[in-house]
Amino acid sequence: MDNDTKGKRSRKADPELDRVAGHLTILRRVVAADLPVLQAWDDDPEIIALMGRKYAETDVTDWFRSLNRDRTCRIWAIDTQEGQLIGEVELAHLNWRNGSTELRICIGDKNYWSHGYGTDALRAALGAAFDGMGLESVYLRVFITNTRAIRTYEKLGFRRQAILEPSARRQDPAAVLLMNLTRQRWHMKQAQSA
Ligand SMILES: CC(C)(COP(=O)(O)OP(=O)(O)OC[C@H]1O[C@@H](n2cnc3c(N)ncnc32)[C@H](O)[C@@H]1OP(=O)(O)O)[C@@H](O)C(=O)NCCC(=O)NCCS
């Protein structure tokens, strides 16, 4: 399949990916009512220490307005099956030509940490990325000290690629681990856990 054909398939599949169901979580479109909660998580020092700030240089409302126009980013709110908003997951820097994207996840509601919700939401988002959007690889950056996140990513098949020096400008608290998951490895992992 050439790149153009892949791109067309991805665009056609877009509305179908507005809602993606996992076992514990449901990924859905972000709505305006979510913004105060997203902003509160972004202002939380414990979350900032784990992943930096998302809206530091922009206003969350401006960001929301630009979402529908932005073809290089797809973001989902993460709900429990009961409909409670607990986090967000994003495919950023979508590069349709080479089929790559950067993954970012935040389970903002700390009551839900370490109960399988992050793994479930990531599995749903990665299924959408590889099977729904036809992407070839997903990469991410994580502070080397964030051992829970690294464990979660490795469970799903991500591999360590490189360690990047902390950025002084971003005031990174630690070195950054670059991880990558290819489509082939994703499918291999899925077959193993079936
Ligand atoms: C990282 C995150 C997505 C993980 O989701 P989660 O729902 O908390 O994690 P899960 O329960 O699905 O899986 C966690 C795994 O790490 C393990 N774990 C928990 N705490 C750990 C720790 N301190 N060190 C190492 N492993 C740990 C768990 O045992 C589990 O592995 P297992 O299934 O083999 O037992 C979520 O905690 C989160 O969003 N945290 C805040 C923001 C953040 O760190 N985002 C990532 C930035 S790159």
In a domain, 159, yes or no: no
Nearest to 129 by CA among 160, 97, 92, 155: 92
Q: 111, 120, 138, 152: which to mutate for ligand 1, most atoms within 8 A of CB?
A: 152
Residue 33 lies in a domain: yes
17 Cβ partners below 8 Å, 6+ apart?
A: 74, 128, 132, 133
> Is 179 close to ligand 1, i.e. is its CB under 6 Å away?
no
Task: In whole angstroms, give the CA distance from residue 127 to residue 132.
Answer: 7
Q: Is the CB of 170 under 6 A from ligand 1?
A: no
How do residues 22-32 score in pLDDT, each as one tens digit? 999 999 999 99
Give domain status of residue 176, yes or no.
no
pLDDT band at 66 (very low <50, low <70, confident <90, very high): confident
**What is the pTM assigned to this prediction?**
0.93
93 domain-assigned: yes
Which residues are within 8 A (CB) of 148 and not within 5 positions of it... i.e. 6 or more apart?
A: 113, 114
For residue 92, what is the domain's CATH number?
A: 3.40.630.30
Q: Would 81 be classed as within a structural domain?
A: yes
Q: 47: domain range?
A: 3-139
In a domain, 153, yes or no: no
Is position 150 within any domain?
no
> Strands 100-107 and 137-143, how do they pair?
parallel
Residue given tokens 């856990």 in the structure block: 193
Using the structure block, give the residue that is written with the tokens 């990924």.
27
Task: Say if ligand 1 is within 6 A of residue 53 CB.
Answer: no
In the chain, the number of structural domains is: 1
pLDDT digit string (tens) for 89-136? 999 999 999 999 999 999 999 999 999 999 999 999 999 999 999 999
Backbone angles phi, psi at 158, to 5 degrees: -65, 145
Distance (Å) from CA 113 to ligand 1 centroid:
7
Dihedral (CA of 84, 119, 51, 96) sign = negative
Distance CA 14, CA 91 (A): 13
Inside any domain, residue 170: no
d(CA 78, CA 11): 22
pLDDT at 11 over 50: no
